[in-house]
Amino acid sequence: MRNAGADMIAYLRALIDAKRGSPDDDMLSALVLATDEGDRLSPDELISMAFLLLVAGHETTVNLIGNGALALLRHPEVRERLAADEALWPAAVEEFLRYDGPVTNATWRFTTEPVRVGSVVIPEGEFVTISLGAAGRDPRRYEAPDRLDITRPRTAGLAFGHGVHHCLGAPLARLEGHVVLSRLFARLPGLRLAVDAGELRWRGSLMMRGLEELPVFTA
């Protein structure tokens, strides 16, 4: 991880220098040129912003698409409802985010005072992480939480986090999930799993919930 991180930083540093030299009509150039009352992002801030947007914007959505596709491949009845009524897609994307969302655990937080959770008291100054995956399956909030149900009453979920750090890209991610999954299943109505679901391999990540690969037959 350390080597990959260093390579990525070197790559972004060179890319940012190139954009500074000849800005283009793209987001990185806009960030390089952005000023707030004369204050610009420093080179380190630019690298960390580009890194965040790249990772937060890419891996998450890849896994929304992968996990959502898997959910549909395993639930033909839901697939049929969506084929019959395109208007159900936005609700379906919300349900994929709840049922098998791409971010299992939020990024780290630190307690500023002792916090009681059930029978445990977490002391002040401890590191904590919230399981967004468990929140999506909380039986006190969702009836039959393990059931994929695209018509369940819509409540604000935690898949995109909560509070000041709520996901910046949520509208884009919802749109990408809707467009990609609806087009995929419309174009390939014969799409089916090529292996037993039990044989699928999940990535070993504490933060991301996503498949190593999703083998399918297209017809």
Which residues make up the interface to ligand HEM (CB under 6 A)? Answer: 52-53, 56-57, 60-61, 64, 101-103, 106-107, 132, 159-161, 165, 167-169, 172-173
- Closest-by-Cβ residue to ligand HEM is 169
Comparing CA positions, the residue from 56, 60, 37, 32 lying closest to residue 208 is: 60
Buried b (16+ CB within 10 A) or exposed e, 175-190: ebbbebbbeebeeeee
Distance CA 9, CA 7 (A): 5
Which residue, 44 or 196, is less far from ligand HEM as judged by CB?
Answer: 44
> Rounded to the nearest whole angstrom, what is the least distance from the CB of residue 136 to ligand HEM in the complex?
10
Which residue, 82 or 173, is less far from ligand HEM as judged by CB?
Answer: 173
> Rounded to the nearest whole angstrom, what is the least distance from the CB of residue 9 to ligand HEM in the complex?
18
Q: What are 36's strand-pairing partners?
A: 39
Which residue, 110 or 219, is less far from ligand HEM as judged by CB?
Answer: 110
> Rounded to the nearest whole angstrom, what is the least distance from the CB of residue 122 to ligand HEM in the complex?
17
Which residue, 71 or 132, is less far from ligand HEM as judged by CB?
Answer: 132
Which residue, 55 or 194, is less far from ligand HEM as judged by CB?
Answer: 55
> Rounded to the nearest whole angstrom, what is the least distance from the CB of residue 112 to ligand HEM in the complex?
16
> Rounded to the nearest whole angstrom, what is the least distance from the CB of residue 181 to ligand HEM in the complex?
12
